[in-house]
Structure 1
């Protein structure tokens, strides 16, 4: 009787080490992904469901009309920003009045373009843009995040030539 009882228990517990190994592997992969992308784990997980756009997509004019929103700090914006972008810091979006400003700008753009614009959020590399996206996704606006942020932009458009030699169709 004791032997039969032990075999039954063992049959149920045998897969446990395998399940634990796969779970640990999954958690490790998410943690490494977050570190590589310069994000905390919750933001990285949220970024997996975030709509993104590449610099090449903007360059090719795939998202006309576009409203570029820089969600970094005023100091970072003053140091460098994408031409024709508007500064709406993440702190303003989190406080609520940044959401109203973005909505107003998008509505104004929609009136002149006769179609709803795509609001492209960007920061340095993506973390703040994803947080802003989370706040804005329920507004009904067409929101996307610039993949790689201004770092990706500057790989294609160097700062000294941004205003005079490269034109984008946005």
Structure 2
């Protein structure tokens, strides 16, 4: 393991100090965003050394925007950390963006006659529920939602006949587009 910045730059490996700091940072992340916690429901967060000096990078998904902020603030307080690049995705941020898009479409008159439009977000997947008077409106809403940053898949349950077993809805995604 390199002990100087020059050796680290030459080998592409972090210095011993950066490696120790990374372990401490991962411990802070694990304490702050605890899997199966009653306070925070979360998913594994990956901490990486972005650059010697030390700049940390956060990757993964959390339930709440507040988790992103608390973790970033805790890492910035660690000795030796000069910056944190926070690439965590917060599900409540995605849900707020989905609801804002639905309201924007309503305000523009593009959801005239639609009833009970709701959304559920889990693991970058948005499930849409409710009723629309036309299938064109249903698919326009779907296209709008799949364009939101952080949304990977939209499952469109709008207008499904719940009496048909196994009728799970139409799926649209960004992957491969």
Q: Which has the higher contact order (CA 8 A, sep 6+)?
A: 1
Q: TM-score range with shorter-chain normalisation?
A: under 0.3
* Larger relative helix fraction: 1
* Larger relative strand fraction: 2
